[in-house]
Chain A
Amino acid sequence: MHVVSVRGVTKIFEEGSNHIVALNGVDLDVDAGEMVLLMGPSGSGKTTLLSVMGCILRATSGSVELQGREVGNLPERELPKVRLDNIGFVFQGFNLFPTLSAGENIELALDLKGIRGAAAEARASDLLAKVGLEERYASFPANLSGGQKQRVAIARALAGEPALILADEPTAALDWRSGENVMEMMRAVAHTYGRAVVVVSHDSRVLPFADRVVQLEDGRLVENAAQEAPQRTGKKSAGGWNLQPSGAGD
């Protein structure tokens, strides 16, 4: 069973009399322990696809399955619970709560899951330790570097133990050294913690971190877009780099 499975997804935005087709019949499966990189030029539909997979946007047509459950046709009021139970988000702008410390940002995510008090504090400390920030529990986001903020955001995304982590341009606001660290961490999230990770990026330097690269253009997955990605030490060995669009080899 795939963690997330998208079939024939189309998303059309209506602006007045204009119909903008953001996604056009996209098929994509992502499995546990796999890190998929979504690439493509601006306006190609990367973030829209991420939003549809994240149950933030509803597809105009097609099917979205999360851990075998069809979520594309769920009523709006049920989607927050689906997100809370299954998905962790990492944003380009970090989206940490500036008035809460690093630890409290993670505690907030735990609070949403009903974990509070000493248990939440211990879990937040543990997560911060996992991203190498155990000393920064009480630091506010304003006092953290960009890379540190993104690591806190990754820890927060993991707080609810979601099966799927969706990251939108997680390195875009970082210098390359910090970005590299973040990507290493994202890969560890997939490989060590067995999460399905989907990263949207337009930065080709992140290619070597992915198990699979999916190219989007004009809302469609590009056929025959495979290219050789440089090997990285410690990358998932099974299957090697797979730059084929999902379904291309079906």
Chain B
Amino acid sequence: MPPLARRNLFHDKVRAAVTLTGVVFAVVLMVVQLGLFVGFTVTTSGIIDHSGADLWVVSHNTPYIEQGTPMPEQKYYNALVTPGVERADKYIVRWGEWLTPRGSQESVQIVGFNPNTGFGGPWNVVAGRVEDLKTPDAVMIDELYKEKLGVTRIGEVVEITGRRAKVVGFTRGIRAFTTTPYVFTSFKNALDFTREREDQTIFLLVKAKPGADLEQVRRDLKARLGDVDVLTAAEFSSMTRHYWMFTTGAGMGILISALLGLVVGVVVVAQTIYATTMDHIREFGTLKAMGAPNRYIYRVIFTQAGISAVLGYLIAMGVSIFVVRGSQQGGASIVVPYSLDAAIFVLTLAMCMTAALVSINKVTSLDPAMVFKQ
């Protein structure tokens, strides 16, 4: 078959550029909006997802991680002796007040963990070591928040909730979805920074023994610890995401924005592909007059749409890499996992094919007698 579809697309370079720009714009828009949405959801539960714990023991009816309430330290000891438990760590996530060296005050979220095991600790450490957090007053923040927190280098001393704190390291990419940065420190320091009682903890992070039946461990913990909820990391992560996504306006705003991005993307692609077909409507009429069966014409139109989708997607992914990298340097968190890449490819293809279907409808209803009209 002569390369009619390819030629229809690329014979006129300017038209080809316009068509591809339309698809690329739509795909980049979707990547950014859906990436923001994924970034938001991932950020809300990042601490849980990276904790390395199998189970989280939380006070009964704790809806999300920021809403943990204290439980007696005794539950920690009870957890340690529960069958199937390899390790349990006390864990705290609490608000605190950070006094910058300039004298300004910033709200932060203190994350207290056990530096000996590292469960629930920082990841992507780019300066300093997690072990450094064992020293008294030591804290670690993300390099994104250096300016906000008035810190320029390791060793700087600040004040958290009236107590001395020393910056011993930096992470990269641990972003808070609110405006309050995470401050990682040891559990013991965290008690001081948050003024919690020493005989209490907010959460327990539990690691099951290799091969242990997690459901059984969960039931045993629940039976042994009493008035608590024992959740898998995935469950607690989902609850936290759900809370921020659907209970607060912020999540819904981003969700609506993502959906709008999707709709605008669909409309732009549909319009672009439709216009490409309409540009050649007379030629399709000629094909019909010559006796081409409809399936022959469909093949040309679908091939046009497919080429537009694949090329547009590839170019858009190239552009998106720059956009995502740029966002990582700034305040926005755009996260594009491979699964989203794949989903957007399928979506782009589906959009182009749907748009092709719309134009096919137009071509099918075309009167071949149009070829005799000037």
Contacts and interface: CB of A to CB of B under 8 A. Distances in A.
Given A56-B372, A105-B2, 15 more contacts: A47-B372, A51-B369, A51-B372, A56-B289, A80-B288, A81-B293, A83-B291, A91-B371, A91-B372, A93-B374, A99-B12, A100-B4, A109-B290, A112-B291, A116-B1
B2 A111 contact: yes
A56 B368 contact: yes
B283 interface: yes
Contacts of B3: 104
Contacts of B8: 99
Nearest to A110: B2
Interface residues of A, number: 32
Interface string B293-326: 1101000000000000000000000000000000
What size tier do the contact residues of chain B reach? 20 to 34
Interface string B361-374: 00000001101101
A21 interface: no
B293 A95 contact: no
A214 B119 CA distance: 95
A83 B374 CA distance: 21
B291 to A, nearest CB: 3
B166 interface: no
A109 B286 CA distance: 11
Interface string B1-43: 1111001100110000000000000000000000000000000
A112 B2 contact: no
A89 B7 contact: no
Interface of A: 47, 50-51, 54, 56-57, 80-85, 87, 89, 91-93, 95, 97-100, 104-105, 107-109, 111-112, 116, 160, 168
A80 B369 contact: no
B365 to A, nearest CB: 12
B292 A80 contact: yes
A99 B374 CA distance: 20
B11 A80 contact: no
A214 B374 CA distance: 23
B134 interface: no
A188 B130 CA distance: 92
Contacts of B296: 112
A51 B370 CA distance: 10
A113 B10 CA distance: 26
A108 B282 CA distance: 16
B291 A87 contact: yes
A75 to B, nearest CB: 14
29 contacts: A56-B372, A57-B369, A80-B288, A80-B293, A81-B293, A84-B290, A84-B291, A85-B291, A87-B291, A91-B371, A92-B372, A95-B283, A95-B286, A95-B371, A97-B283, A97-B286, A98-B11, A98-B283, A99-B4, A99-B11, A99-B12, A100-B7, A104-B2, A105-B2, A107-B2, A108-B2, A108-B4, A111-B1, A160-B291
7 closest A-B pairs by beta carbon, nearest first, are: A84-B291, A99-B7, A83-B291, A99-B11, A104-B2, A95-B286, A80-B291
Nearest to B288: A80
A99 B292 CA distance: 18
Contact of B2 (A50, A93, A100, A160): A100
Nearest to A109: B290
B273 to A, nearest CB: 17
B2 A89 contact: no
Contacts of B293: 80-81
Contacts of A89: 289-290, 371
Contacts of A80: 288, 291-294
Contacts of A97: 4, 7, 283, 286
B372 to A, nearest CB: 5
Contacts of A116: 1
A104 B6 CA distance: 13
Nearest to B5: A99
A244 to B, nearest CB: 26
Nearest to B12: A99
Nearest to A51: B369
Interface in B258-292: 282-283, 286, 288-292
Contact of B372 (A84, A112, A160, A168): A168
B371 A112 contact: no
Contacts of A98: 11, 283
A98 B2 CA distance: 13
B331 to A, nearest CB: 47
B86 to A, nearest CB: 68
Contacts of B2: 100, 104-105, 107-108, 111
A84 B286 contact: no
Contacts of B294: 80
A84 B11 CA distance: 27
